[in-house]
Structure 1
Amino acid sequence: MSRTVRTVLGDLDPAVLGVTDAHDHLFIRSPLLPGQELDDPAAAEDVLRAYAAAGGRTLVQWTPLGLGRGADSLAALSRTTGVRIVAATGAHQAVHYAPGSFSATGAGAEDRPGPYTDLAERFVAELTTGLPGAPEGVRAGLIKVAADAGPDSRHTRWTMAAAAEAHHATGAPIAVHLEADGAPRGVVHRLCQRHGVRPDRVILGHLTRLPDRALHRHLAAEGVYLALDSPSRAGHAGDHQAFEVIADLVEAGHAAQLLLGADTTTRTARAAGGPVRLLTELAPRLARSHGPELPELLLTANPAAAFAADWRTP
């Protein structure tokens, strides 16, 4: 079976994706970011039109269930702007949800109780049938989960187990949000060794939050994809570090595992450039430093491989 990328308008040959923002948000809402909600379809359309004018062709939204991912608007936005959109299922860190959204009480609490019990089934349904509230046939194309403070919190254990189960059922890639204390080695061990997910089906986000170069090389040697996705606004502290990390990993022979994304999670970040900066500032700087082949690899070839899957329907 040939691999395809599952967009909100259907499955596509990865060769046609073109320039891809591998981690971003057109819509997101979290109690941690009051007043910074991205919830306006007209504003999202403006972002996509500007991104397309700068050369962008595909945008991967990592907003999972329960965080206002704009499921009812994504297909229309893609048709209107011509930008291909890949949507996510999955679950973020527990702190992004109202108390009780993922309860862990009662008998058998150590074995995925309550809402966790059917979480894998929810992920599978969104990947194979459709997103709730979206027009018929609008499906997710990846699973997004997140590490809490270390990979061993109950929420992290249960959501990653559900993600792995949904991956095995469907073939979908798994994208992981990391914090500075997110223990990425533990995340890789949990997904790949404990749950049997192939490393090349895992994308670790926010690599620049982790300053340890030896850790970066270790993770790359495991075979996972690494997303450089912290800088999304002018002057972001992650910009310079992102270039240093890229240079180091390119030197170590891991260029084929690197992705670029803007991760625009707030109105402030969107106003300062968002995904357009990837193409107007970051990519040209990479081209000047490493030649035009490197941004082509990071923005086109690598995401085409990372987000393509041999899709299965259980």
Structure 2
Amino acid sequence: MTDLHAPHDPHVRHDRHDLLRTVSGPLPVCAVRGPVLAHEHLALDLTRGTDPAAVLAERHRPAVTAELAVLREEFGLALVIELTCRGMGRDVRALARIAEASGVAVVAGTGWYHEAFHPPGVATADTGRLAAALTDEIEHGCGTTGIRPGVVGEAGSHGDAPSEPETRTLAAAARAAAATGLSLATHAQLGRGGLAQLELLTAAGLPPHRISIGHQDLLDDPAVHRKVAAAGAYVAFDTVGKERYQSDAVRLRLLLALLEAGHADRVLLSCDVSRHGYLTGEGGGGYGHLFRFFLPRLRAAGADEELIDGLTRRNPLRFLTGRAPR
């Protein structure tokens, strides 16, 4: 459970690792006592005129809010890391309304998705200018809302190596994250290119323990997962339930392999709800598929509650706060 209005005395000095920056304001880490969804979308628009279902619009807000509220009551859902960034139809005011109505804290993101969704202006801007734009948003808020992002992401690329524009946007995202103390989550399309992303981001000055490489459950390559984790970055198994792309049976096998290799503290879990058809009211698994279906299978495979708490709460909190590994 989460107390969205946990006491915060502005006169008391806090280490940056003690507070999360949510759409409702600063939230002490100690107030997050339930699980965290590490990569979700609550309001977005990826339609581009060709995919009308790739949207979570105003008409879907009641269903989104209701799902989160139920998960808060049923499983103690405490926090959602919402990774809709620039060019993806981000709406931070909607996120604030959803957080208030559901009682689930929400962290908003910033950055740029992969090249197909880059907004005008990115093509002609150098890395320094792009980094400055993100830093300004992180420090002063998104537009006129005053709502400040609490994570950079999902910063994207779409192949085995980032394209030239993606190289600039990823490097800018890393510079902004390094300058502001935020962590960074990536979009690696179909799980590809994660090692190239990690190399680029660390070369731009961001420590690996503040990086999460996205959609690795779509890549059936345990060796890559081990390399990412061994480097100190997080391996995101964040499309749980998306059977069209990968079966949960394969996800479970890949996750167990990573756990058996000793990397339980480097894993993040989520469902990446990114279109209205994934909502439970429309027949999808919704935001709760992880809790209702995948975690029971993980428990049946031998995971105890200490491990589950690490995967679903301690790991995403450590990632968000940027704490270095022990």
* TM-score (normalised: structure 2): 0.85
Q: Measure the CA separation in 1 of the matches of 2:304 and 2:239.
A: 22
| Contact persistence 2:20–2:321 (CA under 8 A) | yes
**Off by >6 Å, runs of 4+ in structure 1:** none
1:155 matched to 2:175? The reply is no
Aligned pair in 2 of structure 1 residues 97, 255: CA closer, same or farther (>3 Å)? same
Q: Measure the CA separation in 2 of the matches of 1:16 and 1:175.
A: 23
Superposed CA deviations along residues 144-183 of structure 1, whole A, max 9, x for unmatched, are 1112323341111110111111012101101010123732
Superposed CA deviations along residues 22-46 of structure 1, whole A, max 9, x for unmatched, are 0000011112632331112323212
Q: Which SS does the other structure have where 1:273 is aligned?
A: coil
| Contact persistence 1:256–1:298 (CA under 8 A) | yes
Q: Corresponding residue for 2:129? A: 118
The one-letter amino acid paired with 1:169 is: A
Q: Corresponding residue for 2:71? A: 51
Q: Measure the CA separation in 2 of the matches of 1:139 and 1:220.
A: 29
Q: Corresponding residue for 1:108? A: none
Q: Measure the CA separation in 2 of the matches of 1:189 and 1:75.
A: 34
Alpha-carbon shift at residue 48 of structure 1 (Å) = 1.8
Q: Measure the CA separation in 1 of the matches of 2:162 and 2:316.
A: 29
Q: Measure the CA separation in 1 of the matches of 2:121 and 2:72.
A: 37
Q: Corresponding residue for 2:311? A: 298
Aligned pair in 2 of structure 1 residues 181, 11: CA closer, same or farther (>3 Å)? closer
Q: Which SS does the other structure have where 2:122 is aligned?
A: coil
Q: Measure the CA separation in 1 of the matches of 2:275 and 2:309.
A: 27
1:7 matched to 2:22? The reply is yes
Q: Corresponding residue for 1:239? A: 248
Q: Which SS does the other structure have where 1:95 is aligned?
A: helix
Q: Measure the CA separation in 2 of the matches of 1:156 and 1:103.
A: 10
Q: Measure the CA separation in 2 of the matches of 1:173 and 1:248.
A: 26
The one-letter amino acid paired with 1:154 is: E
Q: Corresponding residue for 1:62? A: 83
Alpha-carbon shift at residue 203 of structure 1 (Å) = 0.4
Q: Which SS does the other structure have where 1:5 is aligned?
A: strand
The one-letter amino acid paired with 1:119 is: L
The one-letter amino acid paired with 1:50 is: V
Q: Measure the CA separation in 1 of the matches of 2:44 and 2:54.
A: 9
The one-letter amino acid paired with 1:62 is: L
1:165 matched to 2:178? The reply is no
1:285 matched to 2:300? The reply is no
Q: Measure the CA separation in 1 of the matches of 2:90 and 2:22.
A: 14
Superposed CA deviations along residues 195-218 of structure 1, whole A, max 9, x for unmatched, are 121110000110012111111111
Q: Which SS does the other structure have where 1:60 is aligned?
A: strand
Q: Which SS does the other structure have where 1:264 is aligned?
A: coil
Superposed CA deviations along residues 78-135 of structure 1, whole A, max 9, x for unmatched, are 122110001000110111246x45324xxxxxxx44xx6532122112222112253x
Q: Which SS does the other structure have where 1:86 is aligned?
A: strand
Q: Measure the CA separation in 2 of the matches of 1:238 and 1:122.
A: 39
Structure 2: gaps (5+ residues): 1-14
Which runs of structure 2 are paired with 1:81-96 in the superposition (5 Å)? 81-96=102-117
Q: Corresponding residue for 2:10? A: none
Superposed CA deviations along residues 203-251 of structure 1, whole A, max 9, x for unmatched, are 0110012111111111111110111111245776341122111111111
| Contact persistence 1:71–1:133 (CA under 8 A) | no
1:131 matched to 2:142? The reply is yes
Task: Choose which of 183, 196, 212 in structure 2 pairs with 1:186.
Answer: 196
Q: Which SS does the other structure have where 1:12 is aligned?
A: strand
Q: Corresponding residue for 2:286? A: 274
Aligned pair in 2 of structure 1 residues 195, 233: CA closer, same or farther (>3 Å)? closer
Aligned pair in 2 of structure 1 residues 95, 25: CA closer, same or farther (>3 Å)? same
Aligned pair in 2 of structure 1 residues 132, 83: CA closer, same or farther (>3 Å)? same
Paired residue total: 297
1:79 matched to 2:95? The reply is no
Alpha-carbon shift at residue 11 of structure 1 (Å) = 2.2
| Contact persistence 1:24–1:261 (CA under 8 A) | yes
Which stretch of structure 1 is more off in the superposition, 169-178 or 144-153? 144-153
| Contact persistence 1:229–1:263 (CA under 8 A) | yes
Q: Which SS does the other structure have where 2:166 is aligned?
A: helix
Q: Which SS does the other structure have where 2:57 is aligned?
A: coil
Q: Measure the CA separation in 2 of the matches of 1:70 and 1:286.
A: 34
| Contact persistence 2:273–2:287 (CA under 8 A) | yes
| Contact persistence 1:61–1:87 (CA under 8 A) | yes
Q: Measure the CA separation in 2 of the matches of 1:160 and 1:233.
A: 26
Q: Measure the CA separation in 1 of the matches of 2:162 and 2:115.
A: 13
